[in-house]
Amino acid sequence: MIKIYEFDALKPEEILNRDIRAEANVEATVDAIIADVRARGDAALRDYALKFDHAKLDSIQVSQAEIDEAFAASDPDFLETLRMAADNIRHFHEHQVHKNFVVNDTPGIVLGQKYTPIERAGVYVPGGTAAYPSTVLMDVIPAKVAGVSEIVMTTPAGPDGKVNPAILAAAVIAGIDKIFKTGGAQAVAALAYGTQSIPAVDKIVGPGNIYVATAKRKVFGKVGIDMIAGPSEILVLADGSCNPAWVAADLLSQAEHDKLASPVLVTDSAALAKAVQQELEVQIPQLPRAAIARESVDTNGKIIVTDDMAKAVDAVNIIAPEHLELCVDDPFAVLNSVKNAGSIFLGKNVPEALGDYFAGPNHTLPTSGTARFSSPLGVDDFVKKSSFIYYTRDALGAVQSRIADFAEHEGLHAHAKSVTIRYEDEK
């Protein structure tokens, strides 16, 4: 059963203790997998597919015939849902596109910034206990909007050697270029270093388990990564007028993801806290993934009761949740007080699942408190910013002595000389 805590009795570090550092055996396993993929390429990927996914692969790449077959066999209503979701995601992310700018308000000086998309992105889509076509849409479409030239996707095959057809259907609608049958740390290694079949990419995005997260951390520097994601989290901030059954259902929408997921309720109503605690016991046994939800709720779940809504918001900002639901009468009045959250769901009629699948904002979000300093996946993750500077000879000459003086104060004579040498013939 989920535990209820009084906010004032908790130390900040006790409110939600999350540590996503990998254990030593995970680190060693990931190191060995990365080294093996670098050494043996596709052969290593085939061996790991057989070992971890029980899939015997003839080809690493998903063929066009497999893609066409999966798409043709898909339910037309589901395909229409995917298209509608894709349109919403695309429309939202198009508003994130930045424009290049030029500053030319001083004679002889031109300054500016230009945005350039990365050339090749790698999208990791998890397999295992659930299929995530939503992740395909959320991770591929912002890259498309950004103008990435080539997008490749990796996802594990099932024991039949095939990729989940829902994932393939989403890949077609998102506009993916190439799809490969590999998952886990080995997929991250392949995307970072390349194999005979899989091209090396410039950046890897997408969620995964602790092995994927650890591999992404280890290849960072060779390639870019979006974030090091921990287990999923939901925080519901609710007042006493909320329906406890709705709140319990929203908490369980994340608890069913993973035994390590963190479902948290923060409320200023002791009565609601007790009602939600009881409602969870009613709903958990009804879930197909009840065992996962039970462990998530009992081990990582919390209900935190505060004296008032101001303290409830304080708790939210300390936790910095991945998903935040503001289940209050006037969510817009609370919104500006929220400093730390990945994605914010406003009002009692906005369950987190709306954002997971359909509304448009991205569902690849900062976890483990990193919403204090990081943001959801978006167009910015697929572009680079370059600044540029132009000075005429006269414009540089007007400030040459100041630049040289600055350089000399740092003890860097060659810096100073690189400016003054251009004017020595004028002395």
Task: Just list the catalytic residues.
Answer: 322-323
Element (H, E) at 237: strand 233-238
Residues recorded for the chain: 427
At position 410, the amino acid (one-letter code) is E
Q: How far apart are CA 222 and CA 34, in angstroms?
A: 12
Q: How far apart are CA 193 and CA 395, in angstroms?
A: 45
Q: How far is CA 270 from the centre of its chain?
A: 34
**Which residue in 268, 258, 229, 251 sits closest to 325, CA to CA?**
251
Q: Which two tokens stand for residue 336?
A: 């500006």
Q: Which two tokens stand for residue 134?
A: 């939503």
Q: How far is CA 5 from the centre of its chain?
A: 30
The residue behind tokens 């009629």 is 349
Q: How far apart are CA 367 and CA 77, in angstroms?
A: 33
Contacts of 90 (CB under 8 A, 6+ apart): 141, 144, 145
Contact 244, 160 (CB under 8 A): no
Dihedral sign computed on CA atoms, order 234, 357, 134, 340: negative
